[in-house]
A and B are shown apart, each in its own frame.
Chain A
Amino acid sequence: MANNSFVKTGYLTRFILRLDRFRISLWLVGLTFFTLIVPVAYTGLYENQQERDAMAVTMENPAMIAMVGPGNIENYTTGVMTAHQMLLITAVVVGIMSILLLTRHTRADEEDGLIEMIRSLPTGRLSYLNASLLVISGVSVALALITGFGLYALGIESMDLEGSLLYGAALGGTGLLFAGVTAVFAQLAETSRGTIGWSIAILLFTYLFRAITDVSDEALSWISPLGWVTKTEAYDANHWGPIFILIGVSVLLFILANYLHAIRDLERSFLPSKPGRRTATRFLQSPIGLAIRLQRTGMIAWAVGIFLIGISYGSVLGDMETFFEGNEMMEQMFQLTEGGSITEQFIPMLLIVMAIMSTIPPIMAMNKLRGEEKKDRLEHLLGRAVSRTRLMGGYVVLSVVNGFVMVSLSAIGLWSAGTAVMEEGLEFSMIYGASMSYFPAVLVMIGLAVFLMGYFPKYTTLVWLELFYSFIVLYLGGLMQFPEWVGKLSPFDYIPQVPSEDVSVMTLVMLTVIAIVLMVIGFIGFNKRDID
């Protein structure tokens, strides 16, 4: 039996590689780019050991250790600094990559009935699972080698070959490990959503567990796989032991997934699915109720995420002064001027970034309407006594409320952590008001999404491009010295930078008016066009 179970694994591996070649390339290019750009930026930002030591001081508080893990503050070279501040967070992203890539070709393909098709062909029972595991293993190895040699190729003094390869191996090992976790949950959970949900939950749990133990008792962090990543101490002590643990545990998980796959029936799972509701609640029985129900989980997850981002930004406010002192590049980047405390001038930059992040969930909420259209599910509603205005209106209301909640949560998060770490505290109304002044810009982005949905439904994704553009222009604008009109193409640029600038009510009103006009045009277009 065993030898039959793996027939055509090689062929299927090439098949999956072909299906995912762009997806995989994008992940690899993206991860490599962000891995390599950081040490380059650090060499520019911190020219000597003294400046790095100043930076190191700001990292020596529980909040930062919880976020990025412990680092050797005594020997804070560019290499150590990169590994300390970037390795863990990149590893988390690699974990997400593994989870998403592997779920596609395990539970998701099974759910869509594709594995049934492949099983009916002369392929082994375990071939497809192992083909997808082989692909993800290949991706992890490629990632380890590319980032490892890439970091070494930067030619930065403190980044030697061994440390660089270890850094890459830690990323690759994390990829393998979460591929293993996902492969197991693909057997346990009944749906692809469940698989992703459980795997991400494990990822978050290992991150949080490590955060708590890193602060309280570092030895306990050895229990968390993400703890192993920081324990490599790349560019410093260079421990290879954790890499072998990562690989070993991954292999065990792969074997467990194979075993579970072998003993279960296709399209069955080990975690039982409980029966759902027999009837709909009153709440569900309207277009907007349906829209909320469909997006509920995602919205809650985003709300928690945005709140945590607010908290993490707030937690660094305490050490701002030390951090900026005498660093010209940073001062230029954040356009700091004389007068006013550095913290006060730094806050607007944080607010812009948080506002742009808070725009993501409301736009997702709005573009969900297009997703529903593409899946032919709008005709169920429009074929009944629901007008197009009422249908789209529900999504717009949901999106606007969503944006309001997200901006509020980011402000509350920033304030609550900031006021706790700063000696003089922060005024809540100042932070909340300043955050809220970005809300009209969020409305304009929602308006743009509504407009595209009405007149150019095939191009609803363009709104993401505008958001990305806003981020680049405003975040790097000061550094890159763009001409003024470049910024004017983003609604976020018009917002006065409270508290260092005065509130201009007129600007906010104008932006809101533009948003409303875009929405009205969008409604007109949606009422006139064919539904796909």
Chain B
Amino acid sequence: MSLLKVTNLTKKFGTFTALDKVNLEVNKGEIYGFIGPNGAGKSTTIRVLLGILKATDGDVKLFDKDAWSDAVEIHRRVAYVPGDVNLWPNLTGGEVIDLFVKLRGSNNKSRREELIKKFDLDPTKKCRTYSKGNRQKVALIAAFSSDADLYILDEPTSGLDPLMEQIFQECVFDLKRQGKSVLLSSHILSEVEKLCDKVAIIREGTIIETGTLNELRHLTRTQILVDTKQPIEKLAELKGMHEIEETEQGLSFQVDTDQMDQVMRHISQFGIVKIESAPPTLEDLFMRHYEGTEKVDVSGAGGAQ
């Protein structure tokens, strides 16, 4: 069942097209990663989802309701953490949390206290004294102590330290266990990789890739380090080989994942002494999409033999 469905969303500011035919679908119980560089349109998309910006064209539905006209109904079931958390300098963190939770509707006092302790926030301080990380904690505590069905988190950890990031991840896993859905926009790839079931990559207002992590890995390469008894011959002539390099530990190269089988067959003829492989990271995926000009089949020019 899809909680959130965006079809051909286009948003223009004057003549500038910020979003061009964006499609997204988040199902119940899914943690959905939404990644892209700054200015790609992540926050614009999210603000359309929340009915803060009006779509120029396309269909945006949350819980089968229109994001613009049914905004208030929808927001009763949504918890949101903005990327840039600006708070009222003369209110305390505790006051802001209560205000936020109350404005959504439900209230969970015990959860609030537990989270304040977990995130190590002093709620009696005025917001003007909070650092970026602390302001983010306020928004996160307010979001996590709400009983929502969909959590929309816009780069929620950009100001948190690693310890707090850990706690954030625990909270997201908690939500997942409860069958809640999360839309997590981020450019911290390791985080998305750890948390998300599905990923959409946006660049210059267009979604350039969507799918599960496994599906996307098809598009990427595996890093191999191999040491053989005899020197490997004709490696560079194989399909899908990249960045072949002779190192002290052996031969290092990248191979397109779908060519893995034939490459392994070829190498095994030369007597493998040692082999190490590293899984493709989202990082690679990301880089390949953002290095717009890079071609997929640039073969390793610095050949082995």
A and B: partners? yes
Which residues does A use to contact B, with CB under 8 Å?
111, 191, 193, 273, 275-280, 284-287, 290, 293-294, 375-387, 528-531
Known interface pairs A279-B94, A284-B99; A111-B128 also in contact (CB < 8 Å): yes
| Whole-angstrom CA separation of A284 from B126 in the bound complex | 15
Known interface pairs A277-B124, A278-B92, A376-B86; A285-B52 also in contact (CB < 8 Å): no
Assess the B103–A385 pair: CB atoms within 8 A: yes
> Would you call B104 an interface residue if the criterion is a C-beta within 8 Å of the partner chain's C-beta atoms?
yes
A504, chain B: closest CB distance, angstroms:
42
Assess the B92–A277 pair: CB atoms within 8 A: yes
> Would you call B82 an interface residue if the criterion is a C-beta within 8 Å of the partner chain's C-beta atoms?
yes
Assess the B53–A380 pair: CB atoms within 8 A: no
Assess the B124–A529 pair: CB atoms within 8 A: no
Say which residue of B75, B88, B92, B128 sits within 8 Å of A377 (CB atoms). Answer: B88
Say which residue of A275, A381, A528 sits within 8 Å of B124 (CB atoms). Answer: A275
Cβ–Cβ < 8 Å partners of A382 in chain B: 50-52, 71, 75
Cβ–Cβ < 8 Å partners of B84 in chain A: 376
Q: 6 pairs across A/B with beta carbons < 8 Å?
A: A278-B123, A280-B96, A286-B102, A290-B88, A382-B50, A383-B52
> Would you call B273 an interface residue if the criterion is a C-beta within 8 Å of the partner chain's C-beta atoms?
no
Assess the B95–A384 pair: CB atoms within 8 A: no
| Whole-angstrom CA separation of A319 from B111 in the bound complex | 68
Assess the A285–B51 pair: CB atoms within 8 A: no
Which residues does B use to contact A, with CB under 8 Å?
47, 50-54, 71-72, 75-76, 78, 80, 82, 84, 86-92, 94-100, 102-105, 123-126, 128-129, 139
Instruction: State the main secondary structure of chain A at its contact with B.
Output: loop
6 more A-B contacts (CB under 8 A) besides A377-B88, A383-B75? A277-B94, A287-B103, A294-B90, A375-B86, A380-B139, A383-B80
| Whole-angstrom CA separation of A383 from B100 in the bound complex | 10
Number of A-B residue pairs having CB atoms within 8 Å of each other in the complex: 104
Assess the B103–A386 pair: CB atoms within 8 A: yes
Known interface pairs A376-B84, A379-B82, A382-B71; A279-B95 also in contact (CB < 8 Å): yes
Cβ–Cβ < 8 Å partners of A279 in chain B: 94-95, 98, 123
| Whole-angstrom CA separation of A278 from B97 in the bound complex | 10
Cβ–Cβ < 8 Å partners of B104 in chain A: 384-385
B131, chain A: closest CB distance, angstroms:
10
Cβ–Cβ < 8 Å partners of A378 in chain B: 52
Cβ–Cβ < 8 Å partners of A293 in chain B: 91
Known interface pairs A383-B80, A385-B103; A284-B53 also in contact (CB < 8 Å): no
| Whole-angstrom CA separation of A457 from B163 in the bound complex | 42
B18, chain A: closest CB distance, angstroms:
11
Cβ–Cβ < 8 Å partners of B103 in chain A: 285-287, 381, 384-386
Assess the A193–B90 pair: CB atoms within 8 A: yes
| Whole-angstrom CA separation of A381 from B54 in the bound complex | 17
Assess the B99–A290 pair: CB atoms within 8 A: yes
| Whole-angstrom CA separation of A375 from B85 in the bound complex | 10
Say which residue of B82, B99, B102 sits within 8 Å of A383 (CB atoms). Answer: B82
Say which residue of A111, A290, A294, A386 sits within 8 Å of B72 (CB atoms). Answer: A386
| Whole-angstrom CA separation of A191 from B90 in the bound complex | 10
Assess the B98–A384 pair: CB atoms within 8 A: no
A111, chain B: closest CB distance, angstroms:
7
A362, chain B: closest CB distance, angstroms:
21
Assess the B95–A284 pair: CB atoms within 8 A: yes
| Whole-angstrom CA separation of A277 from B98 in the bound complex | 11
| Whole-angstrom CA separation of A107 from B108 in the bound complex | 38
Say which residue of A111, A191, A280, A385 sits within 8 Å of B99 (CB atoms). Answer: A280
Assess the B102–A285 pair: CB atoms within 8 A: yes
| Whole-angstrom CA separation of A166 from B100 in the bound complex | 57
Assess the A379–B52 pair: CB atoms within 8 A: yes
| Whole-angstrom CA separation of A376 from B43 in the bound complex | 13
Assess the B71–A387 pair: CB atoms within 8 A: yes
Assess the A380–B100 pair: CB atoms within 8 A: yes
Known interface pairs A191-B128, A276-B92; A285-B72 also in contact (CB < 8 Å): no
Assess the B47–A379 pair: CB atoms within 8 A: yes
B111, chain A: closest CB distance, angstroms:
14
Cβ–Cβ < 8 Å partners of B125 in chain A: 275-276
A478, chain B: closest CB distance, angstroms:
44
Known interface pairs A379-B82, A384-B100; A276-B75 also in contact (CB < 8 Å): no
A269, chain B: closest CB distance, angstroms:
11
| Whole-angstrom CA separation of A194 from B212 in the bound complex | 53
Assess the B53–A276 pair: CB atoms within 8 A: no
Cβ–Cβ < 8 Å partners of B82 in chain A: 376, 379-380, 383
Cβ–Cβ < 8 Å partners of B129 in chain A: 273
Cβ–Cβ < 8 Å partners of B87 in chain A: 377, 380
Assess the B102–A280 pair: CB atoms within 8 A: yes
Assess the B90–A278 pair: CB atoms within 8 A: no
Cβ–Cβ < 8 Å partners of B47 in chain A: 379, 531
B255, chain A: closest CB distance, angstroms:
45
Cβ–Cβ < 8 Å partners of B92 in chain A: 275-278
Known interface pairs A377-B88, A383-B75; A276-B51 also in contact (CB < 8 Å): no
Cβ–Cβ < 8 Å partners of A273 in chain B: 126, 129
Assess the A285–B99 pair: CB atoms within 8 A: yes
Cβ–Cβ < 8 Å partners of A276 in chain B: 91-92, 94-95, 124-126
| Whole-angstrom CA separation of A450 from B99 in the bound complex | 25
A388, chain B: closest CB distance, angstroms:
8
- Chain A residue with Cβ nearest B131: A113
Cβ–Cβ < 8 Å partners of A383 in chain B: 50, 52, 75, 78, 80, 82
Known interface pairs A111-B128, A285-B103, A383-B52; A280-B71 also in contact (CB < 8 Å): no
| Whole-angstrom CA separation of A386 from B86 in the bound complex | 18
| Whole-angstrom CA separation of A381 from B82 in the bound complex | 12
Cβ–Cβ < 8 Å partners of A111 in chain B: 128
| Whole-angstrom CA separation of A385 from B124 in the bound complex | 26
